[in-house]
Structure 1
Amino acid sequence: MKPQGEITRGTTNPNRLRRVDRWIAWWCARALAGAADPLVVDLGYGATPITAVELRARLGRVRPDVRVTGLEIDPVRVAAAQAAADPPGLTFARGGFELAGLRPVVVRAFNVLRQYDESAVPAAWTTMTGNLAPGGWLIEGTCDELGRLGSWAALPAGASTPATLTLAAKLSTLESPATFAERLPKALIHRNVPGEPVYDLLRTLDEAWRHAAPLAVFGPRQRWQDAISRLKAAGWPVLDRPARWRLGEVTLAWPAPAVSGKVQESHRG
């Protein structure tokens, strides 16, 4: 099976994806726990296999027998990663959006679609979600080089559009939620313009952050929690709870005109 996609730039750093990994361990916990085969794919792990190694360790706390397969289109990267392999728990193979014929319960595709044209995103999403195991999830997004700021979409098996958008940051370094605009998923980054839901979302969150400025004396965590409370009070479909907000996260229904209704908490993983 010929891999579908292009070779990524390959930039990676230890702990770069710790925020999304922590979120996957929460959101996908039920999907992993109930899977007959707890297979997870790290798509486009990059020039070194460290993110796949870390993903296996973090998800192993949820499902000790989890299996992680790192997929890369570049055969040189696949060969270099074999030194880190620990089968059956951690393996590496050549593959792209077709997932090398695997049927994982979770796919993490991070900093992959960022290099593509926006027009290529829907087909990539559909290909990946079409190869998920029943009840599985595709987590697709981007983050900065150190993992301090990021966002991601979550798509259930068989879906062509996301169910949710998550924004996450290291709060001690967050100057303004407006900076999320630089790290939105590819499907949204060019839609951060007046008239688009994501533009209104970031504007509302930024205003809430400014209104919460007096709480900064108690620390950025308290300020962020107050800002998310204000965001929710303004009518935005916030799907998680304060326990997640304290981690510097917020998960909402996908901000697109095609999405109607609220994704209920019962749909999670």
Structure 2
Amino acid sequence: MGAITRGTTNPNRLRRCDRWLAGPAAWRLRRPAASAPVVVDLGYGASPVTAVELHQRLTKVRADVEVVGIEIDPGRVAAGALLARPGLSFRLGGFELPLDGRRATVVRAFNVLRQYPEDEVAGAWQTVLERLTPDGLLVDGTCDELGRLATWAAVAVDGPVSLSLSWQLRGLEQPSVIAERLPKALIHRNVPGEPVHAYLAELDRQWARSAAHAAYGVRQRFLATAQGMRDSGWPLLDGPSRWRLGELTVAWDAVAPSSRQRGHQGP
């Protein structure tokens, strides 16, 4: 179920999301269960490298985690099978998640829905959510070719939870550069009057206000920017330990498309 994507990928491209899965989201993997948690790398692309890296990173969180790379292109599945090992396998399929009746704890779908029409996103989300464990999570994200800019929406079985933005801080000129990498559910909503537009605009304002901190390095400037966002009333779900990594996570209600869901829209 789905369409073959362009398949573009690179080693270490998804490191920012993987770091978040192994950090703030790791509790989902650590919870006691009758069997090992299943994590899906959905639409991993022309090379299986991101699935291999995901397995390497998540085994440090839980040694018995099972990572399944799922692709709709048979050739890509065959290429992945050459790298299969205990805890890492590859299967042919799409959003229906062919897991032999098992449910996934995490599904990471990066640079997949970006290539679909916006009106197909909700249906794809729902198809995946129906195949998650009760505390499972769909991570729908987008990043640039080298993973220097990345965004992802975290979607639980009862709806979207958060939006994470992650920047390579070195050389960052303005936070809103990340707008072109927003998830499909938000990228066309970056227009005046939409919450996500207000969020990015406020990020740029706080970045400008924090310019004096640049004398101590870009990380200190970003920390001040993030604190300014929190002080302005934006419901950030993380703190300085994540901000130091160039990562901000905000409650989904604060940035949700106004035509679908109205919630917090800034101070």
TM-score, normalization by structure 1: 0.92
**Higher RCO (CA-CA < 8 Å; seq separation 6+):** 1
Corresponding residue for residue 11 of structure 2: 14
Q: How many angstroms apart in 1 are the aligned matches of 2:243 and 2:262?
A: 23
Contact 1:105 1:132 in 2 (8 A): yes
Q: What SS does the aligned partner of 2:134 have? A: coil
Unaligned runs of 5+ in 2: none
The answer to which of 100-109 and 187-196 deviates more is 100-109
Supply the distance in 1 between the matched residues of 2:57 and 2:135 (Cα, whole angstroms).
Answer: 20
Distance 1:137 1:27 in 2: 12
The answer on 1:67 being equivalent to 2:66 is yes
Does residue 209 in structure 1 map to residue 207 in structure 2?
Answer: yes
- Supply the AA of the counterpart residue of 1:230: G
Secondary structure in structure 2 of the residue aligned to 1:141: strand
**Structure 2: which amino acid aligns with 1:183?**
R
Structure 2: how far apart are the matches of 1:81 and 1:123?
A: 27
CA distance in structure 1 between the aligned counterparts of 2:15 and 2:119, rounded to whole angstroms:
29
Structure 1: tracts of 5 or more residues without a match: 263-269
Question: Please, what is the CA RMSD of the aligned residues?
Answer: 1.3
Cα deviation for residue 173 of structure 1 reads: 2.9
Rounded to whole Å, the distance in 2 between the matches of 1:198 and 1:261 is 11
Matched, 1:30 2:27: yes
Query: How far 1:260 sits from its partner (Å)?
Result: 3.7
Which structure is higher in helix share? 1
Q: Tell me the secondary structure at the aligned position of residue 178 of structure 2.
A: helix
Cα shift at 1:213: 1.1
1:4-48 Cα offsets, whole Å, 9 max, x none, are 100111000000000000001113211101152311000000001
How big is each residue's C-alpha offset from its partner over 1:113-161, in whole Å with a ceiling of 9 and x where there is no partner? 00001000000111111110121111111000000001100011x23x4
- Give the SS at the match of 1:135: strand
Aligned counterpart, 2:125: 125
Distance in 1 between the 2:63 and 2:132 partners? 21
Structure 1 vs Structure 2: percent identity of aligned residues? 57
- Please list every run of at least 4 consecutive aligned residues from structure 1 whose deviation after the TM superposition is greater than 4 angstroms: none
1:235 paired with 2:233, answer yes
Asked if 2 retains the 8 angstrom alpha-carbon contact of 1:118 and 1:186, the reply is yes
* Mean Cα deviation higher: 38-47 or 172-181: 172-181
Q: Which residue of 2 aligns with 1:198?
A: 196
Alpha carbons of structure 1 residues 120 and 133: separation in structure 2 relative to 1, 3 Å: same
Q: What's 1:83 paired with?
A: 82
Q: TM-score, normalised by structure 2?
A: 0.93
